[in-house]
């Protein structure tokens, strides 16, 4: 169910962002057209809703339905940022929660709720684990956009900058280079030399490394959630290892 919702959101996002590739392949709307891509996303959401209803668990239905609401809310926030001015770190992290972390948080909580006699403390810990994993995952994505290639990322490097998006490395750089960087952010890096300016400011402010450090903090918070609610076990160890892999990945 989670993967169907996620894939549907990717189909729709690629149409909205006018993306050329997804995971190294032509985006669905490039291969089949906008209408087919949107309909495919709608179909996956419908199938996910049917599967969700068949679980016959009201709490899980509420959790996973919230994800769909949050995906839309996050996309609206991103469009609003693009139209109204410069993003800030607080708003950026809120948008990332809606677009990425909410899916992971509510999916983890739903999995816990489907277990037998799970305490509210365990369900809450599962939610917090997924939330911080989701935030860390997106922050590493932001960092890799400045370090990766088409082969490693499945999309062109600097895709966010070229799309006019101010992600975490840019926002960190703006803290010390705001006078020259904020005007470029406001015009979505459309003027000649804006992207080169942003790259220089990010390098001087150590924006990519600061983004990775923030991701590591969220990964540690995810692991703390497990330690406080779960007894030691191979399953808990696997989840801890997953949190480490999220921040250590290179693709």
pLDDT at res. 154:
56
pLDDT in tens, 75-108: 888 887 766 556 788 989 999 999 999 999 999 9
- HSE of 26, CA atoms in CB hemisphere, 13 A: 8
| Residue from 148, 71, 145, 64 nearest 107 by CA | 64
pLDDT in tens, 131-172: 999 999 999 999 999 986 544 555 567 888 888 889 999 999
% of the chain with per-residue pLDDT over 70? 94
Residue 17 above 60 pLDDT?
A: yes
| Residue from 45, 49, 41, 33 nearest 12 by CA | 41
Q: What is the pTM of this model?
A: 0.89
**Cβ-contact 144, 250 below 8 angstroms:** yes
Average predicted confidence (pLDDT) for the chain: 91
pLDDT at res. 24:
75
Residue 36 above 50 pLDDT?
A: yes
Q: What is the dihedral of CA 215, 221, 224, 226, to 10 degrees?
A: -80
pLDDT in tens, 186-228: 888 999 999 999 999 999 999 999 999 999 999 999 999 999 9
pLDDT at res. 150:
47
Q: Taking residues 9-25, report their average pLDDT.
A: 87
């Amino acid at each position: 169910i989670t993967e169907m919702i996620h894939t549907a959101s990717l189909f729709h996002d690629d149409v909205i962002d006018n993306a050329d590739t997804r995971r190294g392949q032509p985006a669905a709307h490039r291969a089949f057209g906008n209408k087919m891509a949107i309909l495919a996303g709608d179909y996956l959401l419908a199938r996910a809703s049917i599967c969700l209803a068949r679980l016959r668990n009201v709490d899980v239905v509420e959790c996973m339905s919230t994800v769909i609401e949050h995906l839309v809310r996050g996309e609206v926030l991103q469009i609003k940022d693009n139209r109204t001015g410069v993003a800030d770190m607080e708003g950026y992290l809120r948008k990332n929660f809606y677009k990425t972390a909410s899916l992971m948080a509510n999916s983890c909580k739903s999995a816990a709720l489907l277990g037998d006699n799970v305490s509210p403390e365990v369900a809450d810990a599962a939610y917090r684990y997924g939330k911080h994993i989701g935030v860390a995952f997106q922050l590493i994505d932001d960092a890799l956009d400045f370090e990766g290639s088409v082969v490693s990322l499945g999309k062109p490097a600097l895709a966010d900058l070229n799309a006019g998006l101010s992600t975490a490395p840019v926002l960190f750089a703006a803290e010390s280079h705001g006078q020259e960087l904020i005007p470029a952010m406001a015009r979505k890096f459309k003027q000649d030399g804006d992207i080169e300016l942003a790259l220089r400011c990010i390098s001087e402010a150590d924006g990519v490394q600061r983004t990775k450090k923030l991701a590591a903090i969220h990964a540690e918070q995810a692991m703390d959630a497990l330690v406080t609610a779960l007894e030691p076990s191979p399953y808990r160890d696997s989840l801890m290892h997953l949190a480490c892999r999220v921040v250590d990945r290179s693709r």
